[in-house]
Amino acid sequence: MADFLQMLKGLPEVLAESARSRARRNAQAHRLIAPPPAGTPLLVSLALAFEHTGIYLGGGEVAELNGDGCVKAVSLTRFINGTTGGALPIRNGTRIFAVCDAHTRRPIAAERTLKTAHEALSDAGSWKGYDFAATNCHLFTAACVCGVLPRDRRFKRLLGGGIASIGRLERLLAEALNDGHAIAWCAVRRGKTDFHYRLTPEKKARLRLEGK
């Protein structure tokens, strides 16, 4: 009960962080970057001012912690359209963003990030369930960046406990991947083969209904 009340107390700041993050990346969404290397954290917007993150594996695939609690390798098309059948807020973004240095706009990848993402896929049984506030996609992304799997006692403390928010993840990405320098989420240009995705007809219809 105490943990739940603490989560509710922190929710306004989490929502504010998400809104600020979305405003920053949408302001620059027209400035597209080249497809990132494998091992780069990716992001797509969700409804209700939230977001979903994962790790780019290369070859048009992304490692993500899905809303059903499973670590999966999914296509870029599935990553942006959603795969959970309502377990998460609907993925309503029309762009995929990669984490970059805020000054140079160069994607930030790391071999450790990619290696841990592959380890998580091969040891998917160690991920027990999904919690929207704590054991969520942001915690998975942080775990890959830091080279930590759930069996490691550091896992739950990766983002400081409590709500695993986009703001906490962004601070960790800046520290762990960019020597403490500011990061930004940059929209990725779609290619013909290496970074190609499409919006499904169902998603396009839903966005039209939402006036987007």
* pLDDT tier for residue 83 given thresholds of 50, 70 and 90: low
- List the structure tokens of 93: 């973004």
Instruction: Report if residue 112 sits inside a domain.
Output: yes
User: Residue 208: which residues within 8 A CB-CB, separation 6 or more?
Assistant: none
Q: Crossing angle, helix 166-177 and helix 2-27, to 10 degrees?
A: 70
pLDDT at 75 over 80: yes
Count of domains observed in the chain:
1
Query: Longest C-alpha distance within the chain, in Å?
Result: 51
Closest C-alpha to 177, from 90, 100, 118: 100
CB-count burial class (<10 Å; 0-12, 13-18, 19+) for 190? middle
pLDDT in tens, 93-144: 999 999 999 999 999 999 999 999 999 999 867 777 788 778 899 999 999 9
pLDDT digits 0-9 by tens, 167-198: 999 999 999 999 999 999 999 999 988 899 99
Asked whether residue 209 is assigned to any structural domain, the reply reads no
Amino acid identity of 164?
A
Classify residue 84: in a domain, yes or no: yes
Query: What pLDDT, on the 0 to 100 scale, is given for residue 152?
Result: 85
Residue 212 in any domain: the answer is no
CA distance 49 to 18: 6
Residue 84 has pLDDT above 70, yes or no: no
Per-residue pLDDT tens for 18-69?
899 999 999 999 999 999 999 999 999 998 778 999 999 999 999 999 888 8
Would 208 be classed as within a structural domain?
no
- Host domain of residue 142: 2-203
